[in-house]
Structure 1
Amino acid sequence: MSSGKVLLGVLAGIAAGALVGTLLAPEKGSDTRKKLLSKGDDYLDEIKDQFNELLGSLKNKFEEKSEEAQEAYGKGKTKFNEAKNEFKNSMAEL
């Protein structure tokens, strides 16, 4: 299981636990709603931060693989051109 899925599951569990705990607490409804909104905002901010971190990580990996692909392409092109020139030279000698 990927770490992203595990993290999302943990965050969902924490949010569900906080929601149930807040709903069962003996307080006024308006106080409970304020707490829920506050906690919801906190969790949303945390999820946004985690999502941005994940996007940054994916972007870095994509850039690394893109650079590797460009290097491989350049090496392959060079070898192809060398082989083509070698073939042309051997044909010219015939």
Structure 2
Amino acid sequence: MKTSSTILGIVGAAAAGALLGVLFAPDKGSNTRKKIKDKSKDYGDNLKGKVDGVMSKLSASGHDIIEEGKAKFNQVKEEFNAAKDEAKNTVNTVKTNY
């Protein structure tokens, strides 16, 4: 999660810098408020896009891990059944010979 914290820190710092720049710019109050509103929306949309991208990657990774786990489970299950069958055959062979 360090990457997401870094991204959020950078986006937050950029938003704070933009806000301070707009606040200290010599402009009419209504224009300044409109600029703040517009920039906030832009940063919010940008952040939402980044979060959605991270969540999508995590979801895909999770799906891949689950599929790999299922494949490993099935492989172990098959190996266990083969070993169990071999043990039964060995027991039957021993019973037959004695």
Band the TM-score falls in, shorter-chain normalisation: over 0.9
**1:4 Cα shift?**
1.4
Residues 45-64 of structure 1 aligned to structure 2 (within 5 Å): 45-64=45-64
- Percent of pairs identical after alignment? 37
1:63-74 alignment to 2 at 5 Å? 63-74=63-74
Report the aligned-residue RMSD: 1.0
Deviating beyond 3 angstroms after TM superposition, the runs of 4 or more aligned structure 1 residues are none
Aligned to 1:12: 12
Q: Which has the larger radius of gyration?
A: 2
Q: Secondary structure at the match of 1:14?
A: helix
Deviations 1:15-74 (A, max 9, x none): 000111111111111111000000000001000110110011001101110111011001
Gap runs ≥5 in structure 1: none
Q: How many residues align?
A: 94
Pairs within 5 Å for 1:1-94: 2-94=2-94
Letter in 2 for 1:47: L
Separation of aligned partners in 2, 1:38 and 1:81: 64
Q: Which runs of 5+ in 2 are unaligned?
A: none
**So what's the TM-score if we normalise by structure 1?**
0.95
**SS across alignment from 2:40:** helix
Read off the aligned partner of 2:20 and give its amino acid letter.
V
Q: Distance in 1 between matches of 2:79 and 2:69?
A: 15
TM-score under structure 2 length normalisation? 0.91
1:68 counterpart letter in structure 2: E
User: Aligned AA for 1:71?
Assistant: A
